[in-house]
């Protein structure tokens, strides 16, 4: 199955971001991608964290969700929509102290929503110069989510969903592996500071320890708010080998994922069967 991870440098203009995403997704489809993954915050990297509250949508309707559904259908892709801000299912975000869910939505080639995952682990970082605290505007999710994708080569792939900071919590990915996942997705907006030290190392570790493919779509460049993200969108095989990557700037990163090669890795080294705890 050919998979594309889309690297973007999203800014403060939603329409411009959607146009950038559409152009890159069109390139991915033209190159034969069957599954395409957008990065975290593909729709907006605002001047302030709270800017995402202004574009929040209720689950099931809104221009951002319609864009994803229409694009998936028009291009005939399985489309993983990075993340977008969704209002709580039970109440308006204003009643949750002005917070939203940072949600990954998956759409089938028919334009139908196939899965929703709300980011579980919320990033907080303070090195004295850079400070981030996603909990100020985000509500943490609580449930791992996977979906099944029947590929053109006849295989059924189980795909586990995660977002950015989740990458530092291996128990989430072990849960997916124990549930039969073959592919782990990590749409992200890693900071330049943490990314240069940890990004590739963590992605390759999650692939190796779970004998699964990993597809990580990232923000990669200097944004309107002067924040710089690390980029280095990549696809990693179950042995930890980098199949494809791009350092910075918008682009499409493509690779063919071989289901049988994954099974061979798991047969040669049946570590998943040797688990004790």
Active site residues: 40, 119, 164
Q: Is 213 exposed, middle or buried (0-12, 13-18, 19+ CB in 10 A)?
A: buried
Give the C-alpha separation, 43 to 34, whole Å: 22
Q: In the beta sheet, which residues pair with residue 84?
A: 103
For 46, left (φ over 0), alpha (ψ -120 to 50), or beta?
beta
CB 258 within 8 A of CB 268: no
Tokens linked to 179: 């549930």
Tokens linked to 113: 């929503």
The DSSP output letter for 10 is -
Q: In the beta sheet, which residues pair with residue 118?
A: 103
CB 54 within 8 A of CB 62: no
């Amino acid at each position: 199955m050919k998979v594309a991870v889309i690297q973007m440098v999203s800014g403060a203009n939603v329409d411009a971001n959607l146009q950038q995403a559409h152009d890159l997704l069109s390139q991915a489809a033209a190159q034969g991608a069957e599954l395409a993954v957008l990065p975290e915050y593909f729709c907006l990297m605002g001047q302030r964290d709270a800017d995402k509250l202004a574009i929040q949508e209720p689950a099931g309707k809104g221009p951002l969700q319609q864009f994803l559904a229409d694009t998936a259908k028009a291009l005939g892709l399985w489309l993983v929509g990075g993340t977008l801000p969704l209002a709580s299912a039970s109440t308006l975000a204003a009643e949750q102290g002005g917070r939203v869910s940072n949600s990954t939505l998956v759409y089938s080639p028919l334009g139908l929503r196939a899965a929703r995952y709300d980011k579980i682990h919320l990033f907080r970082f303070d090195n004295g110069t850079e400070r981030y605290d996603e909990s100020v505007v985000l509500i943490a999710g609580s449930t791992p989510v996977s979906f099944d994708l029947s590929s053109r080569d006849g295989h059924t792939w189980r795909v586990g969903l995660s977002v950015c900071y989740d990458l530092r919590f291996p128990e989430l990915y072990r849960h997916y592996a124990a549930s039969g996942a073959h592919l782990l997705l990590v749409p992200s907006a890693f900071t330049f500071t943490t990314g240069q030290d940890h990004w590739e190392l963590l992605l390759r570790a999650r692939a190796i320890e779970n004998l699964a493919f990993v597809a990580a779509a990232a923000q990669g460049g200097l944004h309107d708010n002067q924040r710089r993200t690390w980029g280095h969108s990549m696809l990693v095989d179950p042995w930890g080998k980098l199949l494809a990557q791009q350092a910075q700037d918008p682009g499409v990163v493509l690779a063919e994922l071989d289901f049988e090669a994954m099974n061979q890795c798991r047969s040669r080294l049946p570590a998943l069967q040797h688990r004790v705890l």
